[in-house]
Amino acid sequence: MHVMPALDRDHGIEPLLVGSLTSAAHEVFETMVFRSLTAGAPLHDTGLRPPADIVGTVGFTGDVSGLVTLYATLEAAREIAGAMLALDPAGLDDEITDAIGELANMVTGVFRTKLAGNGRPWAISVPTVVVGTDLYTKYLTAGRRVLRSFGMGDHQIFIELVVAETPLNGGPQRS
Amino acid sequence: MRFLIVDDSSTMRRIIVNTLAKIGHQEYVEAPNGRDGLDRLAASPVDVIITDWNMPEMNGLEFVRAVREQHGPDVPILMVTTNAAKDDIVEALRAGVTNYVVKPFSSSTLREKIDAVLPAKPA
């Protein structure tokens, strides 16, 4: 039974996962935001905190479990929402949160589809979106992390992939 | 032509409304989940239903099955979702979905899928 290798002790998260997530980001942004992204180099297990006022997170589980997190400044998020909704970005408020959540949902969904090509089942969670200042995420489960920046015109967004070293639910529980 | 748009994401509802407007359809009602969608449908009939899969309260499959049970097989239902696996599509079709759109989608793709499920115009 083949299980996709997710973690390489020497190089962090397996390149196929990183490449699939990057490809998913490009596809979603071009199709739904009408923006091309310029991907930066992936940063493995970095302590870097991307600048963000809004963070959208979606969990996934399958051969591996983890999280996909999208980080954006308010200005970038406002531009994204305006493009998706065909509305003037300056007039948007609550719409921004939902747009970022839907964007994270779609990026993770495409990522999941790319990984599900081997026929094994995958699932993704409902998106969680947090709005604030100087946000960062901290994971309670041991895992490996890769962060990638994407240039989007005058803005920069970040997408992070965290892969758990053990299943997020800890596997079957026995009394 | 009157549409019912069922999706917990206001963003996705707006994107679908925008696409409908581009192709000349201005009449629609929105619902944030399947249960509300059934209430809307009971209040007044529609010509086409566009629904998401993953929603709170009542998900898309449960909603589709309920629509078929309560309103019969004739109203076209288009499912718009990130669930792209073959098994997902088969499950949706078995539940009573007429056609399927995987996110992300271009407006032209959504338009083609909507046109494909619209009731045939009388000769």
A166-175, B35-44, B62-71, B103-112: least confident range = A166-175
Domain assignment present for A26: yes
Domain assignment present for A58: yes
Mean pLDDT of A73-95: 95
Does position B120 have pLDDT exceeding 90, yes or no?
A: no
Domain assignment present for B122: no
CB pairs under 8 A between A and B: 57
> Using CB atoms, which residue from B9, B105, B106 is nearest to A102?
B9
Q: What is the number of structural domains in chain B?
A: 1
Boundaries of domain holding A125:
7-164
Of B107 and A28, the one with more pLDDT? A28
Interchain CB distance below 8 Å, A85 and B105 = no
Domain assignment present for A2: no
Domain assignment present for B82: yes
Q: How far is A100 from chain B (nearest CA, A)?
A: 9
Pairing of strands A155-164, B48-51: unpaired
pLDDT category at A64 given cuts 50, 70, 90 is confident
Domain containing A153 — which CATH number? Answer: 3.40.1550.10
Mean pLDDT of B92-113: 94
State the pLDDT at residue A22.
96
Does position A10 have pLDDT exceeding 70, yes or no?
A: no
CA distances from B121 to B24, B75, B95, B110, B117 (A): 15, 14, 26, 19, 12
Does position A96 have pLDDT exceeding 90, yes or no?
A: yes
Q: What is the number of structural domains in chain A?
A: 1
Interchain CB distance below 8 Å, A110 and B82 = yes
pLDDT category at B112 given cuts 50, 70, 90 is very high
Domain assignment present for B123: no
ipTM of the predicted structure? 0.89
Domain containing B73 — which CATH number? Answer: 3.40.50.2300
Q: How far is A47 from chain B (nearest CA, A)?
A: 31
Residue A70 half-sphere exposure toward CB, CA atoms < 13 A: 29
The H-or-E segment that residue A164 falls in is: strand A155-164
Domain assignment present for B84: yes
Mean pLDDT value across chain A: 83
Interchain CB distance below 8 Å, B9 and A98 = yes
Domain assignment present for A45: yes
The tens digit of pLDDT for each residue in A101-141 reads 999 999 999 998 888 875 666 778 878 888 877 676 776 66
A94: amino acid identity, one letter = D
Domain assignment present for A57: yes
Q: What is the pTM of this model?
A: 0.88
The tens digit of pLDDT for each residue in A131-171 reads 877 676 776 667 788 999 999 999 999 999 998 876 544 43
> Using CB atoms, which residue from A101, A102, A113 is nearest to B84?
A113
Boundaries of domain holding B65:
2-117
